[in-house]
Structure 1
Amino acid sequence: MAHCSRITALFAALFLAGCASQPHPLEQPRTQPLSDGLRVDVAVLETTDLHSNILSYDYYKQKADPTLGFERTVTLIRKAREQFTNSLLFDAGDTIQGSVLADYQAQVRKVDCGEELAIYKAMDAVGYDGGTIGNHEFNYGLPFLSQVTGTPMNVDGAGTQRCAGPHYPLVLANVYSARDSKPIVQPWTIVTRNMAAFTPDGSKLSVPLKIAIIGFTPPPIMQWDKQNLEGKVTVSGVVEAAQKYMPEIQAQHPDLVVAILHGGMNTAPYTSDMENGGWHLAGVPGIDVLLMGHEHTDFPGPRFEHMPDVDDEHGFVRGVPAVMGGFFGKDLGVIRLALVRQQGHWTIDKSKTFSQVWPICPPMLIAGKPTVSPTNCVPADPQIKLVVGKVQQAAIDYVNTPIGQSAVRMSSYFADEGDMSALAPVNAAQIDYVRRELAATHPELANTPVLAAAAAFRNGFGGADDYTDVLPGPLTLRNAADLYFYPNTLSAVKIDGAELKAWLEKSAERFNRIDPNAEGEQQLINTKYPGFNFDQMQGGIRYVIDVSKPAGQRIEKLSYQGKLVQPSQTFVVATNNYRASGGGHFPGLDGSNIVLASPDGTREILAQWLQAHPTLSADDLPRASWHFARLKTRGTVVFTSAGDKQAVAETDGLHTLRQVRDNGDGTAVYAIDLSK
């Protein structure tokens, strides 16, 4: 609550500062030698993790969703430009993937060389000064990335033709071609912009500001997109890349160096494969401003409140002004950068510099609690829909292609608590596919037990509507996309019983350790462990999770076909390419034990399986494979999900849940009785 008040105060201060300092437009800019004492205020604006959510629309529920969408971020961008005479706009990556529209343009009706990608068209409509490449940019492969970014790459499969790309420069310093060891995208560039400046006596003049931008992506892309990148590119750590190119940048004598990192912050000792290296990158001499992303959160924000050398109130990381502007177009990152001319150079006046994240839906106080309401969101900028409206409708028409009927409801509202209805069709499709492929490609494994692992990707992280919910009735491709959110390909790994247990133990870190003797409420879910890493397995397997035990010791009664699993027993597990290649740092999964790397997408495999079961019933789906160990607790064990869904839990056989309070934002707190 105190933090919310602080945010509100800063937002107001930023607004007033911008309005108060806004001068009359320059009619005839003057040029003159730059003297000490000259001041320039610049609003550095950032979007990140847009994931091609261009319009405020939920493709899975087929309705408008005003709580997300770049078209509303544009409204904030235009307001910032009205408030501040000087501004720069950058994007921190994960831009071209993540929505039905993105998949449509990449995998269904692929854009041709002369056609600009819809998200880039929308971004060009508002005008960007630069951006970088996120990890999800690599999901569709290097040839596609090369084409749609307008960047010829000297890598296998990528052409040398320069195709239509965004009208702003992209930079990426830490990914290199395996052919020549040169960056696949220019590592850095310089943009020069004229800025309104003020002398100590209040006179106004126009001055050029020379801004260097350098970009970075998470080094673990080599694991996450191994099938797309192995043998084609190499990756370095973000700090090493910054140190490599900083001398070149400084030789150009820029006035400002902006590091655009698709990554967040981790204060653990630095390693070259660190996923979120922002804290360490801020310590590289010469970096003046740090823009971050990837973690789908806000900085400044409470998640970073207690990090060393991090000013969570004003937005500094190790003395460097920094911002991380949310995800899905829900926010705009803003740094109010105060520059002053001293001894012939521009320096940052840190006493007048601060960062803020502007939400498209500012929280309202409901029952004393800050709550995001769809009724309190800024309007969409009408220009963006005009730019992408036709391809948007084409994508919607495509995903409404019928593929069958279902007699069962498949939802993820209580996937963390044991409702596997939304995971069962995914696992069934994976098992069926792998069994057929193994018989043809690995006949020596044809009789090996095949299991499948799936996670609930839509588990409420993005709010009350961020759940899979496929109702009984007609099924379309949209439902398949809802059931399997990411454009992963299918992989299968060969493991033994000990590795199987270790896999499940890692997954069970999704839960906090519950103390049976503690009074008061205890939270069941460990929100620091992402839901997309909570793999749940099916295929004749059964197991129990004891949340009273420490992590690593929770899996009990692990059996296959009614018999306890032996440590040396052999299994093949169907999963996705991300997990099989090491994504999530699961023990024993590093890509070395992959026995099947399918070119087919898991979503497409699922859609084909659903088409092969045109009247889907409960008999077609594997039963739930796990439950919690019985545990009597003094206090109440609670978790959060979408509100008023207790009937869904009852229908799916979870009779130990009850809603205890409404949060006022579409979510509710539920209690779970672990003693039954």
Structure 2
Amino acid sequence: MSERFHFRLLAMSDLHGHLIPESLTDFTQKPSGLCAISSIIAKHRTENTRVLDLGDSIQGSPMMDYHQAHRHSSPNPVAVLFNHLKVDYFVPGNHDFNYGRSYLDQFIDNLNTTKVLCANILDKKNRPAFGLPYDLFTLGEGIKIAIIGVTTQYIPNWERKSHITNLRFENACQVAKRLVEHLKKIENPHLIILAYHGGFEKDLDTFEAYVADTGENLGSRMLEEIPEIDILITGHQHRSIVSTVRNTLVIQPGYNGKAMAVIDVDFIKENGRYAIRKKAILEKTDNYPVDETCVTLLSNIRKETEKYLDIRIGKTTQDLLIKDAFLARRDKHPIVTFINQVQREKTKADISCCSLGNQVSGFPDIIRIRDVLSTYVFPNTLVVLRIDGQTLKRALEKNAEYFALDEEGRIIANPRYSYPKTEHYNYDMFDGIDYCIDVAQPYGRRIVTLTYQNKPVSTHQSFTLVMNNYRSTGGGEFQMYRNLEIVKEINIDIASLLIDYIKKHKTITIQAHHNIRVINSNQ
């Protein structure tokens, strides 16, 4: 007669501070967030259940923006809910460093029982800088389960140096492989789970590359090189995945608290050996009620956040709302000109570039702090680089890849910027130069005109170019920026610079500057 033991793992990733079921910028109701995830946990939690969060948890919402600026006045709201929900494991993500190492450390210190797992980020003494490399526990009659945590090693290519001082980021795949070999040799667990804040660099069906193999995403390599992994839980790319690849159960549970993975493992003992059966589903939060207890726990920080967001800082007589995100990029919305104007004025750079987030609002006639934070959604600062004409053109050619043509020759957004991850923020628009993008031309030959102060830009002509710190380190595959001379850095959040500028000038009037043309020369 066979014996059966059951284990369940509930996994979420990339919450980005989405806790309550309402947007604090436009007041729309959203059936998502950790207060809704709570109901999924309540339904599916059993005696043999663990709850895992895969990082990018404490940055990305107005509530978290407010809290990080007032961090000593109240407990971290994500930690409050993690403690209430008794989350068992936390693996840090790249965005968890955005508010600084001290903020991440404070969040971890606020956790009561949650174990932090991260094997490949080491301190200067060569020890795990955050928690443990893995957790090993026993279920039932001697069933051993190991959970390893690793984080994308690409963080130094994005993050401010001051936020990662004395940290070393090792290759996530190599570290995971070593730990799996160690565990198999020493402990021989019945089940090995790898929790990786990173995504996939290859298609999971064909294993053909669909993103550049920079080391940012190594999930496919893990599947190829570490077949002993029974369950691979990933994040970072904001995808919804449940699949079995080469006998490994593969999961990615979405983002912003829209879903949670429910992973079930049955251990069936026959003739002294265990057979393992594993399966998973993604439970969507729009099928569950909001946990009002969680909402109540956040009532004070919510009120304080709303009061802050509602502060009136200025006005405009123009229509500066962004109604169509694609047209805002193709035709360069006045908001883009405004951001570049503030960046150039602050730094005195010759040229400025900026992007728009995947979802942005623009400004109504009465401008409040909430409007700025829902228009400039990144926790970035400014960096001024020295760049020559040849490198500038390379950067523009990279940006020109954002556009494509449909079957009828209409200009559209390149589908590559929507899959495998939505990355419209990786298209920058420039001010201080005039240029034309011809989408009918092949990549690398799309910039057909480029002038500065009405004169063609020459190969060796030198400029100062201001951009956000993420882009200055090559984020978004802009490798041409990585080794350029840094002229200056402004360590103030760009959103704060915009708020201060509006407060100072009170009425915002933006002169349209049609310096970017996007054309199809075949029409």
Q: What value does the CA root-mean-square deviation take over the aligned residues?
A: 2.4
Structure 2: gaps spanning 5 or more residues: 203-207, 418-422
Larger Rg: 1
* Contact map agreement 2:117 2:132 (CA 8 A) in 1: yes
Q: Does 1:238 align with 2:167?
A: no
Match of 2:303 in 1: 393
- 1:202-213 → structure 2 map (5 Å cutoff): 207=141, 209-213=143-147
Greater CA drift, 47-56 or 236-245? 236-245
The residue type paired with residue 189 of structure 1 is: Y
Match of 2:514 among 624, 637, 640: 624
Aligned to 2:84, what secondary structure does the other structure show? helix
* Contact map agreement 2:20 2:33 (CA 8 A) in 1: yes
Match of 1:586 in 2: 478
Return the alpha-carbon distance in structure 2 between the equivalents of residues 347 and 120 of structure 1.
37
Match of 1:577 in 2: 469
Match of 2:266 in 1: 338
Q: Does 1:318 align with 2:246?
A: yes
Q: Does 1:54 align with 2:19?
A: yes
Match of 1:261 in 2: 196
Percent identity, aligned pairs only, is 25
Match of 1:43 in 2: 8
Deviation, structure 1 residue 479:
1.6
Match of 2:367 among 470, 475, 495: 475
Q: Does 1:536 align with 2:429?
A: yes
Q: Does 1:90 align with 2:24?
A: no
* Contact map agreement 2:405 2:440 (CA 8 A) in 1: yes
Return the alpha-carbon distance in structure 1 between the equivalents of residues 190 and 83 of structure 2.
25
Match of 2:414 among 489, 507, 526: 526
Greater CA drift, 258-267 or 583-592? 583-592
- 1:276-315 → structure 2 map (5 Å cutoff): 276-282=217-223, 283-300=225-242, 315=243
The residue type paired with residue 71 of structure 1 is: C
Pair 252,528 (structure 1): closer, same or farther in 2 beyond 3 Å: same
Match of 2:38 among 74, 84, 107: 74
Pair 328,591 (structure 1): closer, same or farther in 2 beyond 3 Å: farther
Pair 64,272 (structure 1): closer, same or farther in 2 beyond 3 Å: closer
Return the alpha-carbon distance in structure 1 between the equivalents of residues 320 and 129 of structure 2.
42
Deviation, structure 1 residue 578:
0.6
Return the alpha-carbon distance in structure 2 between the equivalents of residues 358 and 51 of structure 1.
18
- 1:242-641 → structure 2 map (5 Å cutoff): 242-250=176-184, 251-267=186-202, 274-282=215-223, 283-300=225-242, 315-341=243-269, 344=272, 346-349=274-277, 353-361=278-286, 377-412=287-322, 413=324, 414-435=327-348, 450-458=350-358, 466-472=359-365, 474-513=366-405, 518-519=407-408, 524-529=412-417, 530-539=423-432, 541-619=433-511, 623-631=513-521, 633=523
* Contact map agreement 1:299 1:356 (CA 8 A) in 2: no
Match of 1:183 in 2: 128
Structure 1: gaps spanning 5 or more residues: 1-35, 151-163, 195-205, 301-314, 362-376, 436-448, 459-465, 634-676
Point out which structure has higher relative CO (alpha carbons under 8 A, 6+ apart): 2
* Contact map agreement 1:512 1:523 (CA 8 A) in 2: yes
The residue type paired with residue 517 of structure 2 is: H
- Point out 4+ residue stretches in structure 1 off by more than 6 angstroms: 268-272
* Contact map agreement 1:278 1:292 (CA 8 A) in 2: yes
Task: Count matched residues.
Answer: 507
The residue type paired with residue 567 of structure 1 is: T
* Contact map agreement 2:385 2:465 (CA 8 A) in 1: yes
Match of 1:102 among 64, 67, 73: 64
* Contact map agreement 2:357 2:376 (CA 8 A) in 1: yes
Return the alpha-carbon distance in structure 2 between the equivalents of residues 346 and 174 of structure 1.
31
Deviation, structure 1 residue 506:
0.7
Match of 1:133 in 2: 92
Aligned to 1:264, what secondary structure does the other structure show? coil
* Contact map agreement 2:53 2:89 (CA 8 A) in 1: yes
Deviation, structure 1 residue 345:
5.2
Q: Does 1:169 align with 2:110?
A: no
* Contact map agreement 1:74 1:380 (CA 8 A) in 2: yes
Return the alpha-carbon distance in structure 2 between the equivalents of residues 117 and 548 of structure 1.
50
Pair 212,523 (structure 1): closer, same or farther in 2 beyond 3 Å: farther
Pair 531,249 (structure 1): closer, same or farther in 2 beyond 3 Å: same
Return the alpha-carbon distance in structure 2 between the equivalents of residues 182 and 390 of structure 1.
38
How big is each residue's C-alpha offset from its partner over 1:242-276, in whole Å with a ceiling of 9 and x where there is no partner? Answer: 12333443424433222111111113689995111
Return the alpha-carbon distance in structure 2 between the equivalents of residues 499 and 219 of structure 1.
27
The residue type paired with residue 152 of structure 2 is: P
* Contact map agreement 2:314 2:507 (CA 8 A) in 1: yes
Return the alpha-carbon distance in structure 1 between the equivalents of residues 299 and 234 of structure 2.
30
* Contact map agreement 1:546 1:555 (CA 8 A) in 2: yes
Return the alpha-carbon distance in structure 2 between the equivalents of residues 381 and 608 of structure 1.
38
Return the alpha-carbon distance in structure 2 between the equivalents of residues 43 and 563 of structure 1.
65
Return the alpha-carbon distance in structure 2 between the equivalents of residues 531 and 559 of structure 1.
25
Return the alpha-carbon distance in structure 2 between the equivalents of residues 384 and 174 of structure 1.
33
How big is each residue's C-alpha offset from its partner over 1:364-421, in whole Å with a ceiling of 9 and x where there is no partner? Answer: xxxxxxxxxxxxx532111111111111111111122221111223244222321422
* Contact map agreement 2:101 2:164 (CA 8 A) in 1: no
Match of 1:217 among 151, 159, 166: 151
Match of 1:638 in 2: none
Aligned to 2:262, what secondary structure does the other structure show? strand
Match of 1:636 in 2: none
Deviation, structure 1 residue 319:
1.5
How big is each residue's C-alpha offset from its partner over 1:481-510, in whole Å with a ceiling of 9 and x where there is no partner? Answer: 122101111111110111111111111211
Return the alpha-carbon distance in structure 2 between the equivalents of residues 171 and 230 of structure 1.
18
The residue type paired with residue 232 of structure 1 is: N
Pair 423,343 (structure 1): closer, same or farther in 2 beyond 3 Å: farther
Aligned to 1:544, what secondary structure does the other structure show? strand
